[in-house]
Every structure is written in C-alpha cells, then in structure tokens.
Amino acid sequence: MINIDNIWKDTLDELSKLMTVVSFEVWVEKLEPVCIFQNQLVLCAPTKTAKKTVETKYGDVITEVLSAVNPQLTGSIFITEEQKDEYLKSQDSVLDGAGFIINEPVPGPIKNPFKENYTFETFIQGKSNAYALAAAKSVAENPGGTYNPLFIYSGVGLGKTHLLNAIGNYLMSTTKSRILYVNSETMINDIISNMTNKTSNEESNAFREKYRTCDVLMVDDVQFLSGKTATQEAFFHIFNDLYQNNKQIILTSDKAPKDIGALEERLKTRFASGLTVDIQIPDLETRVAILHSKAAQQKFNLSKEVAFFIAENSPSSIREMEGLLNKIIFYSSLTNHIIDTEELAQEALKDSLSEKKEVIDATDIVNAVADYFRVSVQDLVGPKREKKIVEPRMIAIYLINELLSMPLAAIGAMFGNRDHTTIMHSRDKITEDIRTDTRIKIAVVDIKSKLLDR
C-alpha cells in the first residue's frame, strides 16, 4: 500500500543525492508530508524561516523530484504548523493502494489555457490597431458569424498573439465553446507526426479529436506554413471541414495572405475569404499608454519621463518596448533604486540601447523564455512552483548558464535567491532533457535562435 509517506521517503532518497549533506539535513529532511491538494504535495516546515528558505531555495528541486517519483504530482506547497488544519480540511485528492492520485471532482470552470493578462481590457486602443481590435471583439461576440476566417497580420510584437488570447479569454468566460489555440509550428509538428504515425489509429483519432472537433481554431503565425507542402495540404482539409461546419477560424501572420511566399494559391484564397485586418505601428502617445498599462499590471510606478524615454527609444515593436520596461523594473528591484528620470533610465538601459545590440544579457533570456512559454517574468523569477512555471524557469537557467557562462550563485541570486544546488540541478536536468525529450529540445532551439538572430 503506497501512501504519501512512501512517496516522500522516495523523494528524500533522491534529494539526498542531489543536495549537500548540510542543506539536506537542515532544511529538507525536517519537512513533514501532510496531504495532497490540487495535485501538489503539502509539506509542513518546523518554523516560518524554514518554510521560507525551503520554498525559495529548494522548492524547484523538490517539485522536480516529486514529479519524477509520482508524475501525477505537479508541485509542492510549503506551510507551517498553523496552516495544517486548513489544508487537511480542504484536501481534494486521495491516494489509492497503487499510489494513483484519485481526484475528487472539483467543481469549477475548465482550465483556461489563455494568458490571463492578455485581454481586451488590457489591450490599449489606438489608431494603429482600432480596426483589428474591433474585428477581434466582433468575432468574440459572434464566433462562426460574418467574419470567417478572421485574418490578422502585422510586424512582430504588435499585438496579434495578445488579440488571440483576448478572444480566447472572452469566449472562455462567456461560452462553453471548445477553443483550440496553436502556434503554426505546433500544428506543423502535429500534422507531421500524425502523417508518420499512420499505422496507429489511436494517434490519428487524437489528431482528429484535437483539430476537427473544436468550435474555434486559432492558428498563430501561419507564415511558417510557407514551403511546407504536405502540411498545407492537410491544413486545407482541416480548414474546409471547420469552415463548412460554421466553426470560427482565426489566423495571424506577419504578412497579408497574398504576400506569404510558397503558400498554395487555394490556401491564400481561403485565408483572405473572410475579413483581413492589419495592425500598424502605434504612435508615440499609444505606446506611452501601453507602457503605463504594462507597468501598472506589474505594480510598478512608472514616471511620465521614463515612459516617454522608453517609447521614443523603441519605435517599432511593443514587445521590444516591454523588454526595456522590464529591464527598468528588474534593474530597480535589483539595485533598490527608484528610476524616475531620463538620465537614470538611460543609465539602466545603456547596454540595450547602444545601436544594434550585439550582446545578449540575462534579461533578454528571461524575456524570451517568458514570451515563448507565455508565462510572466515575475512568475519565472519568483517563488511559484507549478510545473508549468518550473520547467520554463529551468530552461531560462540553463540558457543563461550556457549563453552567458554566468556563475551559478549569481544566477541563483537573479532567480529569487535560489541556492546554487538548485541552479546546478536545473542546468543538468535540461542538459539531459535535451537529449531525451524532443519537446524540450525544440523549445530550447527555438528560444536560442530567436535570441541569437535578432
């Protein structure tokens, strides 16, 4: 009979191999497993300080090892004695004899896959995007209606992915539609692996299930279909199936349909057969408004002077502009200095602003990873330890170590004072994963190429 004590014991065995004897004995061995809550193991620490220390320094490694011991466990929650009753009362899962977690059905909405801060409310309207925003709202209110497909195109970092998420978030809160959001690269991988696995029925059913049973299909960055003949063929059929059943299709691209090279004529025609809208580069005033909104979301007090300075220095991409803002936020939290004048901002951003930047720094990597996995920068460097955050965090750590050869302790300091053993573990784990897990390998290669060929 397996219970949480066995699971914890196995976890301790593994951890003892990964950590120094002292850290292990002082901090980790004294934790007591309490119960399982939302698929995370609740661990009780003897004191508040111990809770804080394990949480920030060893939380990632513990989560990592726990989910290796029992893959159904997706995280760890650290508490102190006073919170024990509260968790024991609200535990929502039990282990069966074989160690499987049986979840009591938790009433509540289905999990929302969309990025929560990409909504219509947080999308600042300006002349450059008014038309695209109106089209997106109209599709969100009436999916499968008059604007089908909706095709949005623009240069990079101007809000296409934000709008797709906004539509998704809106539909999640107002309807029960099945919404599938995929980046075209994911779709290409899906189509290819479905084609090569033709022998396995299960595989192609799963594929059908995924692409042909949704009510709304969003494919982000369809320009990557360029030149992929077999994928285009398969996508043409998916498109027609959905379209004929009045399912909404929303596509984004960096160019208008007619300008996408090496794309079948019939797909170009399909793509342009609904409504095509573009997003232009926003004017200075809109860029400043966007910066204030982004700063407010991060609870950062952004002075007008600094906002204008950033907006003037990143004229062509909002993503780039946000990168500069994040640097200011990051810099001021590291140095504990208020950056509220143009001079201070200039100082903080001097490396990034020097013409055609050659050097990549840690913030670029953190931003790129956050962007790729659609998690926030704060979460990435913060204390959260759900798997969906821990994995990107480990990848960021791996890349910083690989690309910048920064000392492990310095990386630990950047990531909320994590211990250098945690950093070392992340680095080794991802090094290993790259060899064994294609998904991780693709992620690392993608992020690296985005970073290196800017």
Residue ranges that bind Mg ion, judged by CB under 5 A: 160-161
For ligand ADP, the closer CB: 283 or 305: 283
For Mg ion, the closer CB: 24 or 373: 373
Pick one of Mg ion, ligand ADP, none as the site partner of residue 318 (Cβ within 5 to 8 A by kind). Answer: ligand ADP
Pick one of Mg ion, ligand ADP, none as the site partner of residue 162 (Cβ within 5 to 8 A by kind). Answer: ligand ADP
For Mg ion, the closer CB: 83 or 117: 117
How many helices (H) and strands (E) the chain has is answered by 22, 10
Pick one of ligand ADP, Mg ion, none as the site partner of residue 183 (Cβ within 5 to 8 A by kind). Answer: none
Closest distance to ligand ADP from the beta carbon of 449 (Å): 16
Enclosing H/E stretch for 427: helix 420-436
Enclosing H/E stretch for 93: strand 93-95
**Hey, is 389 helix, strand or coil?**
helix
For Mg ion, the closer CB: 154 or 426: 154
Binding stretches for ligand ADP (CB under 6 A): 118, 122-124, 129, 154, 156-162, 290, 293, 318-319, 322
For ligand ADP, the closer CB: 143 or 159: 159
Pick one of Mg ion, ligand ADP, none as the site partner of residue 114 (Cβ within 5 to 8 A by kind). Answer: none
Pick one of Mg ion, ligand ADP, none as the site partner of residue 158 (Cβ within 5 to 8 A by kind). Answer: ligand ADP
Closest distance to ligand ADP from the beta carbon of 121 (Å): 10
Sign of CA dihedral 253, 259, 260, 264: positive
Closest distance to Mg ion from the beta carbon of 371 (Å): 9
For Mg ion, the closer CB: 160 or 393: 160
Angstrom distance (rounded) from CA 230 to CA 251? 19
Closest distance to Mg ion from the beta carbon of 220 (Å): 6
Closest distance to ligand ADP from the beta carbon of 325 (Å): 10
Closest distance to ligand ADP from the beta carbon of 339 (Å): 21
Angstrom distance (rounded) from CA 216 to CA 168? 9
* Of residues 440, 427, 451, the one with CA closest to residue 368: 451
For ligand ADP, the closer CB: 149 or 323: 323
Pick one of Mg ion, ligand ADP, none as the site partner of residue 319 (Cβ within 5 to 8 A by kind). Answer: ligand ADP
> Scanning the structure block, which residue is given the tokens 């004229």?
315
Crossing angle, helix 387-404 and helix 362-373, to 10 degrees?
A: 150
Residue nearest to Mg ion (CB): 161
Angstrom distance (rounded) from CA 380 to CA 57? 14
Pick one of ligand ADP, Mg ion, none as the site partner of residue 156 (Cβ within 5 to 8 A by kind). Answer: ligand ADP
Question: Which alpha helices (DSSP H) does 70-215 contain, by range?
Answer: 84-90, 130-141, 160-174, 184-196, 201-212
Angstrom distance (rounded) from CA 279 to CA 156? 10
Calculate ∠ Cα 353-355-357, nearest 5°. Answer: 75
As beta bridge partners, residue 160 has none
Amino acid at 29: E
As beta bridge partners, residue 248 has 216
